[in-house]
Structure 1
Amino acid sequence: MYHKGAIEGYPLQTYASALLFSPTGSLIRQLFQHEEPEAISIRPALSDEWSACLQTLEGHSSVVSSVAFSHDSTRLASASGDSTVKMWDASSGACLHTLEGHSRYVSSVAFSHDSTRLASASYDSTVKMWGASSGACLHTLEGHSDYVSSVAFSHDSTRLASASGDKTVKMWDASSGACLHTLEGHSSVVSSVAFSHDSTRLASASWDSTVKMWDASSGACLHTLEGHSDYVNSVAFSHDSTRLASASHDSTVKMWDASSGACLHTLEGHSDSVSSVAFSHDSTRLASASHDSTVKMWDASSGACLQTLKGHSDYVNSVAFSHDSTRLASASYDSTVKMWDASSGACLHTLEGHSRYVSSVAFSHDSTRLASASDDSTVKMWDTSSGACLQTLEGHSSVVSSVAFSHDSTRLASASYDSTVKMWDASSGVCLHTLDVGRTLHDLSFDLTGSRLYTEIGTIDIQSLETSSRMDLAEPARPMYLGTGFSSDGIWVQHAGNNMLWIPSEYRPSHSSVCGTMVGVGVGSGRVWICSVDL
């Protein structure tokens, strides 16, 4: 599973990257050591055993700020600083959709508990409601006067809460998008909100170092929980609604009694700010994400630390359990999403591929593909089962802001900062039409028949379009390289411009040096390794 991306994309790397980057004590390394390429060597020796990481999900072109599993455990959503949300197949790690429409950093995502809707919060001061299957934008909720930091659905899926830098919490009707209540009381930014699973209470975390508990029906404040010595970044209820966890900039996690407000445990162990907490759905475990680049798994009853999950090379912003409690997803500033086995801590998938921010994700309606739009001017199509990148669609000359599939899953529309909308054949990746819309569009969705495309400036009649010229997708000339070095994206060790060794995401250079036949690599995690290519 760890080398799935390399083997599927580059089968010949089975006896190069997959062997050289496998632990020295692993069965595959021992059985096939004689197949290792003689011309390529890595030193010092890598780890003895497999890490806990099952998969690393790559594709966003900027910071991944938040992750959430759908409640049927089939999908994972990720929010990014590239202004997009990506939808991933939770089993295969394939990217299903890239949701575009926000104009700034997307800070939080949450699925409704019936798994039909996805909400996203953004620094553009809005909340967007999306169809979880289609990726279509259903509502744009406006009313906050500053950035929106967090969103949460009530467990009966009837209400949505949003937390904002304007020091308020807003309660919305999840069907109509109408604002029901504005909750005031915090003296600083409200960073996170969470409903209890019986939908009777709402908790809010604030930079005023407190947590407030609210009555979800009346909006009355029930408790103010004090004890943290710095910003409170995140709150989460256990699924039996008896406990509340809070994560703080003071590097600790606190566990509270949800009825009385009493502090039950203070969990210490992280060496930097704790950005996010999440309970497993059986309420037995708590996961915490930290700026120390790790995820910790805690026993929810005793507060004991069960595991420390390592693999990200930068801040970890968010964690989420799958609803069967078997998987954990983490989002990081290293622009990747990692999927972990919640029992063993093994990494299942890493979703990557774009070279810059990912601005939007969208699932095809048959759930077999995910499209991602990026700041790198491309759209990528991913297989939702395997996590494999199927196609890279090129043709836009600027940031791609939004993507949407037709309901029969045969076409894909993409909007760009180049003021065009492109229509693609979803199977072949061929560009069918290019429309000059005269401005940047962020909201795209097809009608049920596929004959119309809905946008924020009007409805486009697709049926009457005349066939336009196909885009020239020829790549520009590539430079000639001599000796040993790296590909420009840092994914390959090259020799004379030829790809020799695919580098797993955990080993990719944050800093590097080249000397003759050797390359030296420094990784964000602190690891240093040297590779020699002697042909």
Structure 2
Amino acid sequence: MSLTSDEMNYLVYRYLLESGFTHAAFALGNESYVDGRKLTDGQREVPPGALISFVQKGLQYCELEANLNEDGTDVDADFSVLSAKDLLSLSVDELKELVSARRNMTEEERKALREEEEKEARAKAEANGIKIESDIEREIKSEEVTVLDGHTSEVFICAWNPTKQMLASGSGDSTARVWTVPAGPSGREAQTKLAKPKVLDHKASGDGVEAMDTDEKSAAPDGKSMQGDVTTLDWNADGTLLATGSYDGQARIWDTNGKLKMSLKHHKGPIFSLKWNKTGDCLLSGSVDKTAIVWDAKTGDMKQQFAFHSAPTLDVDWRSPTEFATSSMDHSIYVCKLGDDKPIKAFNGHTDEVNAIKWDPSGTLLASCSDDFTAKVWSLKKDTCVHDFNEHEKEIYTIKWSPTGPGTENPDLPLLLATASYDATIKLWDVESGKCLHTLEGHTDPVYSVAFSPDGKYLASGSFDKHLHIWNVKDGSLMRTYQGEGGIFEVCWNKEGTKVAACFSNNRVSVLDFEN
């Protein structure tokens, strides 16, 4: 049996989606016409992590082959475990020689090799700020976690309501859900209530953990559910409305009872980013169609479309109720104003696509991060960047400002910028001096999301290594850690700073308790 090119393309497409490479997945899907429905019978879906699973099985086969005798029979000696690096870089004959050499080692040599490997592992862990003996104390147990189980595909995005104990999540199953989470401790009691989560007709009731789902009858006026992955979502400032953006090119606005208020239909491609302005009267969306649109939140009408980019718009962020910035795969950033036909500022300095942009809490500085391995800080008063942070070794996927400094609720703490990279590290930058304060090295795979606690003292990070870490911002130490069952796409704090939510590639959302 052999894989067809369509089947291989679909496996790669799923891997890209599950790994957070949504832009690359979209490009592959369009160019190869990937359609999972043609590759399944409707009952046997391709499971998450299928490509990785097949590759791992292939490596295990190579390992087994290297351990067999020349005639294919089992050997009498111990099975020799080979590293992934060995299996990927050496031929079968070279692997057999390595296995043979290990089998001929004396017991003292074996013991010395094990001790050296343990020493290297301990040194690496401690260099990353992790003390082996205290890992158990830091670990968050599964019984301390509430698992929100209801999505049927990867959960890409989640966000807490700014005023209520509600958590919104968006998934590749073409649905958005809003979960009502009890204010008390997470754990077994809430877990029991979630064994059969009640799917409401867009109405939340009771004090349990329940979900509002977008069912086919009530998700849209024409009776159709949302078509395409829910890629982005955002609550308005007073927590009364939730906006969602989808691969179908539509933005939608919902109330807290799950009722669809309006569908915003003008984009010609998937929406990757959308944000409410602080006054809640406008919604901003950015799309693969290379444009950004400002919508009237009361009527659903398009107030203005901005078509300045020459490639897909990847991120948008408001500076004020009428000014905002956009970033694109064309390497550029534009600052625009509602009512103006041209950008009021253009920032050019990145040499690859600009993945994310964020205004600082005061709206004075704009941070950006790119596939060119750099993050930059810009000011409207300058044409060139104020700071060029270039210490990461791979692409920077996202950035976050701390909720600290002048004009915030934490004015006595310095303003910081967190950058998360494919190099598996997070860096904390002092924006005033331009220096890196801490490099957080606890993850082993790309870091896709970081979030500061509301008081600015802690930072949560999520990676595709399945771990959520919580760090002390002051000294960069690792406070708590939780290992889930899938890669993490997004992490976020509730308004009190007592709970952290993380959404996973295994279709689940987890809520963890955190005590200072």
TM-score in terms of structure 2 length = 0.50
1:240 to partner: Cα distance: 1.8
Matched, 1:120 2:285: yes
* Distance 1:199-1:27 versus aligned 2 partners, 3 A rule: closer
* Distance 1:103-1:227 versus aligned 2 partners, 3 A rule: same
Which residue of 260, 263, 269 corresponds with 1:104?
269
**Could you tell me which residue of structure 2 aligns to residue 486 of structure 1?**
none
Which residue of 44, 48, 72 corresponds with 2:238?
72
1:227 to partner: Cα distance: 1.1
1:79 to partner: Cα distance: 3.1
Maintained 8 Å contact 2:245/2:272: yes
1:238 to partner: Cα distance: 1.0
* Distance 1:312-1:101 versus aligned 2 partners, 3 A rule: farther
User: Any gaps of 5 or more consecutive residues in structure 2?
Assistant: 1-145, 152-185, 197-207, 215-225, 406-414
Matched, 1:225 2:398: no
Task: State the distance in 1 between where 2:210 and 2:472 align.
Answer: 24
Matched, 1:84 2:245: no
Cα deviations across residues 215-256 of structure 1 (Å, max 9, x unaligned)? Answer: 134443111111111001111111224100111111221111
Which residue of 355, 361, 371 corresponds with 1:191?
355
Maintained 8 Å contact 1:199/1:216: no
Task: State the distance in 2 between where 1:296 and 1:55 align.
Answer: 26
1:139 to partner: Cα distance: 2.1
**Could you tell me which residue of structure 1 aligns to residue 364 of structure 2?**
200
* Distance 1:63-1:158 versus aligned 2 partners, 3 A rule: same
Cα deviations across residues 158-198 of structure 1 (Å, max 9, x unaligned)? Answer: 42111111111000114557411111111111111111111
Task: State the distance in 1 between where 2:309 and 2:472 align.
Answer: 37
**Could you tell me which residue of structure 1 aligns to residue 418 of structure 2?**
245
1:276 to partner: Cα distance: 2.8
1:106 to partner: Cα distance: 1.6
1:281 to partner: Cα distance: 3.6
Which residue of 204, 216, 226 corresponds with 2:380?
216
Which residue of 304, 307, 323 corresponds with 1:159?
323
**Could you tell me which residue of structure 2 aligns to residue 434 of structure 1?**
none
Q: SS at 1:276's partner residue?
A: strand
1:78 to partner: Cα distance: 3.6
* Distance 1:188-1:138 versus aligned 2 partners, 3 A rule: same
Task: State the distance in 1 between where 2:330 and 2:395 align.
Answer: 16
Q: Which shifted more, 190-199 or 169-178?
A: 169-178
1:86 to partner: Cα distance: 4.3
Matched, 1:284 2:457: yes
User: Any gaps of 5 or more consecutive residues in structure 1?
Assistant: 7-22, 37-52, 346-535
1:118 to partner: Cα distance: 2.1
- Structure 2 counterparts to residues 324-363 of structure 1, below 5 A: 338=509, 340=511, 343=514
- Structure 2 counterparts to residues 512-531 of structure 1, below 5 A: none
Task: State the distance in 2 between where 1:331 and 1:88 align.
Answer: 21
Task: State the distance in 2 between where 1:295 and 1:213 align.
Answer: 27
Cα deviations across residues 198-229 of structure 1 (Å, max 9, x unaligned)? Answer: 11111110111011111134443111111111
Which residue of 423, 428, 443 corresponds with 1:270?
443
**Could you tell me which residue of structure 2 aligns to residue 526 of structure 1?**
none
Q: Which shifted more, 53-62 or 108-117?
A: 53-62
Task: State the distance in 2 between where 1:278 and 1:228 align.
Answer: 19
**Could you tell me which residue of structure 2 aligns to residue 131 of structure 1?**
296
**Could you tell me which residue of structure 1 aligns to residue 429 of structure 2?**
256
Cα deviations across residues 68-114 of structure 1 (Å, max 9, x unaligned)? Answer: 33333444434333433344556x67765554432222212222122
Task: State the distance in 2 between where 1:268 and 1:127 align.
Answer: 36
Maintained 8 Å contact 1:62/1:333: no
* Distance 1:344-1:189 versus aligned 2 partners, 3 A rule: same
Task: State the distance in 2 between where 1:240 and 1:27 align.
Answer: 33
Q: SS at 2:445's partner residue?
A: coil
Higher-helix-fraction structure:
2
Task: State the distance in 2 between where 1:308 and 1:66 align.
Answer: 26
Task: State the distance in 2 between where 1:128 and 1:306 align.
Answer: 41
* Distance 1:310-1:228 versus aligned 2 partners, 3 A rule: same
**Could you tell me which residue of structure 2 aligns to residue 407 of structure 1?**
none
Task: State the distance in 1 between where 2:271 and 2:240 align.
Answer: 22
Aligned residues: 305
* Distance 1:150-1:333 versus aligned 2 partners, 3 A rule: farther
**Could you tell me which residue of structure 2 aligns to residue 149 of structure 1?**
314
Maintained 8 Å contact 1:73/1:322: no
Maintained 8 Å contact 2:498/2:515: no
Q: SS at 1:278's partner residue?
A: strand
* Distance 1:286-1:67 versus aligned 2 partners, 3 A rule: farther
Task: State the distance in 1 between where 2:191 and 2:491 align.
Answer: 31
Q: SS at 1:221's partner residue?
A: coil
1:62 to partner: Cα distance: 3.9
Task: State the distance in 2 between where 1:94 and 1:298 align.
Answer: 38
Maintained 8 Å contact 1:73/1:324: no
Maintained 8 Å contact 1:68/1:319: no
Identity %: 28
Maintained 8 Å contact 2:286/2:314: yes
Cα deviations across residues 488-532 of structure 1 (Å, max 9, x unaligned)? Answer: xxxxxxxxxxxxxxxxxxxxxxxxxxxxxxxxxxxxxxxxxxxxx
Cα deviations across residues 413-439 of structure 1 (Å, max 9, x unaligned)? Answer: xxxxxxxxxxxxxxxxxxxxxxxxxxx
Higher-strand-fraction structure:
1
Q: Which shifted more, 117-126 or 268-277?
A: 268-277
1:263 to partner: Cα distance: 0.8
Cα deviations across residues 428-461 of structure 1 (Å, max 9, x unaligned)? Answer: xxxxxxxxxxxxxxxxxxxxxxxxxxxxxxxxxx
* Distance 1:163-1:329 versus aligned 2 partners, 3 A rule: farther
Q: Which shifted more, 112-121 or 181-190?
A: 112-121
Maintained 8 Å contact 1:85/1:99: yes
* Distance 1:170-1:61 versus aligned 2 partners, 3 A rule: same
Maintained 8 Å contact 2:491/2:502: yes
* Distance 1:4-1:289 versus aligned 2 partners, 3 A rule: closer
**Could you tell me which residue of structure 2 aligns to residue 531 of structure 1?**
none
1:339 to partner: Cα distance: 8.3
Task: State the distance in 2 between where 1:28 and 1:188 align.
Answer: 44
Bigger relative contact order (CA 8 A; separation at least 6):
1
Cα deviations across residues 329-366 of structure 1 (Å, max 9, x unaligned)? Answer: 66666778x58577489xxxxxxxxxxxxxxxxxxxxx
* Distance 1:186-1:302 versus aligned 2 partners, 3 A rule: same
